[in-house]
Amino acid sequence: MAHTTVTAPSSQALRTSLKGKRWWRELGWRYVVIAFAIIYAIFPIVYIFSASLSTSGTLTGSNHLFATVTGANYAALGDTKFWTWAVNTLFIGTATAIGTVLMGAAAAYAFSRFRFTGRRVGLTSLLVIQMFPQLLAFVAVFLLLLSLGNAVPVLGLNSRIALIMVYLGGALGVNTFLMYGFFNTIPKELDEAAKIDGATHGQIYWTIVLRLVAPVLAVVGLLSFIGSFSDFLLAKLVLQSESNWTLAVGLYAWVSDQLSANWGLFAAGAVISAIPVIALFIFLQKYIVSGLTAGSIK
């Protein structure tokens, strides 16, 4: 009778198998999750880009991705007020971002470096106020701008400056808390050393502290720019003439009427509208991680 000999796996093969299982358990499954997340995020972008290159003028006609490729929709943007809306949006977003950074940094520096009566109450009040969305006050904002426009037209309805003021009205709160945590990570010994050398509070703030907190300034500026760039309700409420519209309001007007909606033109405008945000995000990418995490560590 023949005997079957079963050989045990070698120690090297066993170690390789265990190493592979451990790699999959600790790291490998993450690649699968990342792959699904990338596909989930990229597919809508590819779909809209395909629709922008289609001649059908609808989204349903672009189920076959890149079935037709033409730049007619992008060329047609020149016959509309799209580029005027783009300039309005960039102006409002940039002004809002700069104002938010300056106001939030000044408030955070005061709360972090000075001790004064009402400091804790002020911080708590900012946090409580931010629990209520700014959109809850849109009726009050409309009535305020309606009355204010009679005295100062530049701060009334249908004014880009007025919309910027509305956005800056909600600039404090969460942004101040984010900066406040970051300011607390800057040693106060730097301030004291600068004072010994004869520096004033203004010199310390502008030449030393702001340079050290550049990451959080970049993060707050980016979030503020994106928020004002994509806002629709307040922009639609304040800006009434077509020449003053932002991209969000203008693009919505193209597809608000189901009978005359031009989704191809809308898709082309949406693709171009995403470029400034993506470019700013890439430019500030090196600050984002440190700016969002450092403020939580004291």
- pLDDT(112) > 80: yes
Structure confidence at residue 259 as a pLDDT band (50, 70, 90): low
Compute CA distances 106 → 96, 118, 192, 207, 217, whole Å: 15, 17, 19, 14, 11
Distance CA 113, CA 107 (A): 10
Give yes or no for a contact between 220 and 100, defined as CB atoms under 8 angstroms apart. Answer: yes
User: What is the distance of C-alpha 48 from the center of its chain?
Assistant: 20
Nearest of 279, 282, 276, 283 to residue 88 by alpha carbon: 276
Mean pLDDT is lowest, of 13-17, 22-26, 71-75, 267-271, for: 13-17
pLDDT, residue 214, reads: 87
If one compares 136 and 210, the residue with the highest pLDDT of the two is 210
In tens, the pLDDT along 171-209 reads 777 788 888 888 888 888 888 888 888 888 888 889 888
Structure confidence at residue 257 as a pLDDT band (50, 70, 90): confident
Q: What are phi and psi of 161, to 5 degrees?
A: -65, -40
pLDDT, residue 15, reads: 53
Nearest of 130, 126, 134 to residue 110 by alpha carbon: 126
- pLDDT(88) > 90: yes
Average pLDDT in the chain: 83
Distance CA 67, CA 59 (A): 12
> HSE (CB half, 13 Å, CA atoms) of 42?
6
Distance CA 285, CA 291 (A): 10
In tens, the pLDDT along 8-52 reads 455 555 455 546 677 777 777 888 899 999 999 898 888 888 888
**What global pTM score does this model have?**
0.82
Distance CA 225, CA 133 (A): 17
Give yes or no for a contact between 68 and 54, defined as CB atoms under 8 angstroms apart. Answer: yes
pLDDT, residue 87, reads: 96
**What residue ranges define each of the domains in the chain, with the CATH number in brackets?**
12-72 (no CATH), 80-296 (1.10.3720.10)
One-letter amino acid at 179 equals M
Distance CA 157, CA 235 (A): 10
Distance CA 80, CA 285 (A): 33
Distance CA 124, CA 109 (A): 16
- pLDDT(289) > 80: no
Q: Hunting for tokens 């451990």 — which residue is that? A: 22
pLDDT, residue 162, reads: 93
